[in-house]
Amino acid sequence: MDIFKDKIILITGGTGSLGRAVTRELLKKHKPHSIRIYSRDEWKQWQMRQEFGDDMRLRFLIGDVRDSERLRRATEGVDFVIHAAALKQVPICEYNPIEAVRTNVDGAVNVINAALDNNVKKVIAVSTDKAVHPVNIYGATKFAAERLFVQSNSYRGAKRPTSFAVVRYGNVLGSRGSVVPLFLEQRKIGRLTITDERMTRFWITMPEAVFLVLSSFEIMRGGELFVPKIPSMKLVDLARTIAPRAKLKIVGIRPGEKIHEALITRDEGRLTYDLGDRYVIFSDSLPGWRKSLSEYRSAVPVVRDFEYNSLDNPEYVAPAGMKKLLKIV
């Protein structure tokens, strides 16, 4: 059964890398009634309209997640919401912390309220590994947004049947926020900049990210935080894979960066279950979370003191594997 058939879907930040990829997948393999692309950049909307050939199922809505009234209007009649809008650049958020809060935290509240007021069926918010043990403004705002979406399931009831869940993953290969485009550009001059030789990161391909988001709509009950099983790699190995003959220049860690990232903390481990291709983290502060867990018949509790980080991750991308993923010849 295709849960997206004849449904109306709203994507905040819909002109971003993930929004475009999700839109492409929905239009190609599903039969939605319409997809509402909600973003504040008219130029990117125009570009996306050209990319998709004026598909009549697309609706382009100019709006900012900071604008609660516009969001409330945009979600009227919507069945599913994918919340991908955010300020994401770590240095920019560090220098503009209040703006980061207004978009990433206040914007999350506005999405939640609009979805509740309009009885949207399901909402999934897109998060990041930087929300785990946050050491920068971006991570802190995304951590707050995660908790807001998960705990907003407590507002559910007969009159407000909306379910909220979160997906959390690492760097998307080839997205605008990834280091890959930078390395590919620097390869032309034969010198790549590395922040720290020890640095490791989680990596996910765009098709994997799209599958995680869309498939999570099918299995979510409300209150879950889904984490994919994805590989790690040292940034220095990634650089050498992309440009094996280039010189590497160590420039030092930027403000707010970590050496290694985590997707699941040890404290979250006691509420984490293995679903096969992903982990699911429950919130024990939500009434009825054990009932939700009982509906996941294939769920297996993880080992005691479980932690999922990019340094100790048993799945490591070898240079040959990364080269294949990047389609580098």
> Catalytic positions, please?
130
Helix, strand, coil in percent for the chain, rounding step 5: 40, 20, 40
Q: How far out from the chain centre does Cα 154 lie?
A: 23
| Length in residues, the chain | 329
What crossing angle do the helices spanning 107-117 and 137-151 adopt, rounded to 10°? 20
CB 114 within 8 A of CB 36: no
What does the longest C-alpha to C-alpha distance in the chain come to? 62
DSSP conformational letter for 198: T
Residue of 59, 64, 155, 137 lying closest to 95 (CA atoms): 137
Cα separation, 36 vs 45, in Å, equals: 11
